[in-house]
């Protein structure tokens, strides 16, 4: 069942008299104006920059207040954008605060970073309260203010955000954006709540799982760096991998990294280093960091990460750690084949090592 239909059913169970209009379509530059035009107030509950910019620009052009909320892990926040008060003064819009989108490599969404349901409940309830105030003709409490909630420590605070920018591209005195644009190109990421696949490296600096298997078959001394958090690494990992997180890669100097990977005169003698993560995004960032610290070694990324679901990925040889059986169904399901058991491994590794 589509989410919109499921949501309609849930609302009807709470109050059968509510008129719920379902729009079972993708919100895009082509559909947004027609979808939003009949409504008085818009709530932004999205989880990606492209949709946030799209909703913001549409609400400014249509002159509608935008009640925007977000949540990640233990924390949440919300505010009211583009609200015109009793004096006729317009508050800031999303672009006033963020005229340029953040590099997609540094954006974490709920699908990747996780979020606690009660945190979403707090922020959603606060958004609903502001919507009721505006609909009833009352001044919202969080126009030009940002509410911050920390569920881990049970704290909340409100900060005043800067006023509308006269130079804003969409709500400024001389706007340059008067119609909706291509927001996926503008943000460098898709308008989707799921984890986005980044392309930070050229194809020459990336290899598939099967290509890595072939390389390691010919040169067992290549080094594999796994950038996942230790708790994920402990569930399942490539048996030759060394676990060094992105934060550690950023903090450690060149000598410390070489020592950690046993590069200088240690157990490994290689000119190649490969980086792997869960989905193939963080590993690309890892490659960029290691290039600066391990010159002139060749550093490459393994596309798709350890979560990839292809038959040849079983040749990578993931080992399950003690007590991790309960998690076998969620991470690296196809990596049950140990590379050490070559007699029963899929015939996906060529013997040609030229």
In a domain, 193, yes or no: no
Question: Which of 45, 110, 192, 218 does the annotation list as catalytic?
Answer: 110
List pLDDT tens digits, range 290-300: 988 888 888 99
- Residues 295, 214 share a domain: yes
pLDDT band per the 50, 70, 90 thresholds, residue 354: low
Identify the pLDDT of residue 145.
92
Whether residue 143 contacts residue 80, with contact meaning beta carbons closer than 8 Å, is answered with: yes
Concerning whether 192 is annotated as a catalytic residue, the answer is no
Identify the pLDDT of residue 1.
81
In a domain, 348, yes or no: no
- Residues 169, 128 share a domain: yes
- Residues 167, 77 share a domain: yes
> Would the pLDDT of 192 be above 80?
no
Boundaries of domain holding 59: 3-187
> Would the pLDDT of 320 be above 80?
no
- Residues 154, 87 share a domain: yes
CA separation for the pair 284, 201 (Å, rounded): 7
Identify the pLDDT of residue 132.
95
Q: Please tell me the least confidently modeled range out of 53-57, 79-83, 141-145, 180-184.
A: 180-184
Region of residue 50 (phi > 0: left; psi between -120 and 50: alpha; otherwise: beta): alpha
| CATH number of the structural domain spanning residue 108 | 3.40.50.720
Closest CA to 319 of 309, 332, 329: 332
**DSSP assignment of 131-162:** HHHHHTTPPPTTBTEEEEEETTTTEEEEEEPP
- Residues 258, 132 share a domain: no
Whether residue 46 contacts residue 58, with contact meaning beta carbons closer than 8 Å, is answered with: no
Last residue of a domain, one of 187, 222, 249: 187
> Would the pLDDT of 346 be above 50?
no
Question: Which of 93, 96, 168, 277 does the annotation list as catalytic?
Answer: 277
- SS3 at position 110: helix
Concerning whether 315 is annotated as a catalytic residue, the answer is no
Mean pLDDT of 46-66: 92
In a domain, 26, yes or no: yes
pTM: 0.58
- Residues 236, 97 share a domain: no
pLDDT band per the 50, 70, 90 thresholds, residue 104: low
Closest CA to 199 of 290, 279, 109: 279
Helices and strands per DSSP (H, E), number in the chain: 12, 12
pLDDT band per the 50, 70, 90 thresholds, residue 352: low
- Residues 259, 223 share a domain: yes
Number of compact structural domains in the chain: 2
pLDDT band per the 50, 70, 90 thresholds, residue 326: very low
> Would the pLDDT of 41 be above 90?
yes
Q: Please tell me the least confidently modeled range out of 22-31, 79-88, 191-200, 232-241.
A: 191-200
């Amino acid at each position: 069942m589509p989410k919109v239909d499921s949501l309609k059913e849930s609302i009807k169970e709470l109050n059968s008299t509510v008129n719920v209009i379902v729009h079972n379509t993708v919100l895009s530059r082509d559909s947004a104006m027609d979808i939003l035009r009949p409504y008085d107030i818009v709530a932004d509950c999205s989880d990606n920059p492209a949709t946030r910019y799209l909703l913001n620009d549409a609400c400014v052009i249509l002159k509608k207040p935008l009640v925007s909320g977000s949540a990640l892990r233990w924390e949440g926040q919300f505010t009211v954008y583009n609200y015109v008060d009793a004096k006729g003064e317009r508050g800031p819009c999303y672009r006033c605060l963020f005229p340029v989108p953040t590099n997609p490599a540094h954006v974490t969404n709920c699908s990747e970073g996780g979020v606690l349901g009660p945190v979403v409940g707090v922020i959603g309830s606060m958004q609903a309260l502001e919507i009721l105030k505006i609909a009833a003709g009352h001044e919202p409490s969080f126009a030009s203010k940002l509410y911050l909630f920390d569920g881990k420590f049970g704290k909340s605070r409100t900060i005043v955000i800067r006023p509308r920018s006269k130079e804003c591209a969409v709500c400024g005195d001389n706007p340059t954006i008067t119609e909706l644009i291509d927001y996926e190109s503008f943000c460098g990421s898709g308008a989707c709540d799921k984890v986005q696949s980044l392309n930070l490296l050229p194809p020459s600096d990336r290899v598939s799982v099967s290509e890595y298997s072939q390389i390691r078959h010919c040169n067992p001394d290549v080094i594999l760096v796994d950038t996942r958090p230790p708790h994920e690494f402990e569930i399942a990992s490539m048996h030759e991998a060394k676990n060094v997180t992105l934060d550690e890669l950023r903090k450690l100097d060149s000598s410390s990294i070489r020592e950690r990977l046993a590069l200088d005169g240690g157990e490994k003698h290689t000119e190649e280093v490969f980086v792997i993560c869960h989905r193939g995004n963080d590993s690309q960032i890892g490659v960029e960091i290691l290039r600066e610290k391990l010159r002139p070694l060749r550093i490459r990324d393994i596309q798709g990460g350890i979560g990839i679901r292809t038959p040849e990925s079983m040749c990578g040889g993931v080992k399950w750690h003690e007590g991790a059986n309960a998690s076998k169904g969620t991470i690296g399901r196809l990596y049950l084949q140990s590379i050490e058991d070559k007699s029963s491994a899929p015939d996906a590794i060529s013997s040609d090592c030229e």
